[in-house]
Amino acid sequence: MERESAVDGRQTTEKEPAIDGRSSAEREPAARKPAAGGKACRAGQLLLGLVLMLLILSVSVVATLNFRPLYYWEMERMDLAETSGLTEEQIRRNYDVLIDYNNLWGPDTLEFPDLPMSEGGRVHFEEVKRVFLVFEYLIPVSLVLAAAGILYFRRRGQFRYLKYGALLTVLVPLAAGLAIAANWDRAFVLFHQVVFRNDLWIFDPAEDPVITILPDTFFLHCAVMIVALALLGSILCGLLYARKAVRAQRKKENDK
């Protein structure tokens, strides 16, 4: 900055001394300049939140698939032995074969020990397995990505990804829950029309009697369990975020 002064009737100018080698005009823009990488950091945390959502949803689906007590309870509650003509032992055995088949470690082909199966039914179960495999592969992949991301942001004292994970995760079960509550039958049909590009999921009990031991209400309860587990994961992320936010605020106040 220049300063004018009169010496012997003449105008002269003097420059104020620079602080840290820079003039005040050079210092002001630097003070207003935003931190580098701020937007990239927010995008990274949003991406990590998306990974957490995929992990929570995948775990919810696979956990429900393998929670066999839910089916055993349904079998007794609806007296499937009476309606299907099979014994409870046969029902359990055939159901267990179906669940084993839909897991990564399961057999490549499905063979029911006590029930016949049409070619269309076989193709449909192959399509169902591919759907479950997507979620089963997503678990280790998203788990590794989530662990790496959490470690990265933890070292930088950042945890907003938990908030993003909670918000993103709650969207899917909320939408599914509303659809189920509004009209379960319509939601069930719409799901199959979207996921399966054919009508092989419509079974004829004469050709595929397995449908007699897979009542519609069982799938309803599976959907409810998936929604509940996903909501639980979302709540957990939200609680962790709130806890870290409180700790960060207290630390900030103590440092003042």
pLDDT for 141 equals 97
Report the alpha-carbon distance of residue 50 to residue 164 in Å, rounded.
7
Distance of CA 158 to the CA centre of its chain: 20
pLDDT for 252 equals 77
pLDDT for 28 equals 44
* Burial class of residue 199, CB neighbours in 10 A (0-12, 13-18, 19+): exposed
Q: Which residues contact 230 (CB under 8 A, 6 or more apart)?
A: 56, 57, 60, 169, 170, 172, 173
- Which residues is 11 bridged to in the sheet? 6
Report the alpha-carbon distance of residue 247 to residue 93 in Å, rounded.
52
Report the alpha-carbon distance of residue 105 to residue 236 in Å, rounded.
30
The domain locations on the chain are: 52-254
Report the alpha-carbon distance of residue 69 to residue 71 in Å, rounded.
5
Q: What is the pLDDT along the chain (256 residues), one digit of tens a residue?
A: 544 444 454 455 445 444 455 544 444 444 444 444 577 788 899 999 999 999 999 999 999 999 999 999 999 999 999 999 999 999 999 999 999 999 999 999 999 999 999 999 999 999 999 999 999 999 999 999 999 999 999 998 888 999 999 999 999 888 888 988 899 999 999 999 999 989 999 999 999 999 999 999 999 999 999 999 999 999 999 999 999 888 888 877 777 6
pLDDT for 110 equals 96
Report the alpha-carbon distance of residue 174 to residue 180 in Å, rounded.
10
pTM, entire model: 0.81
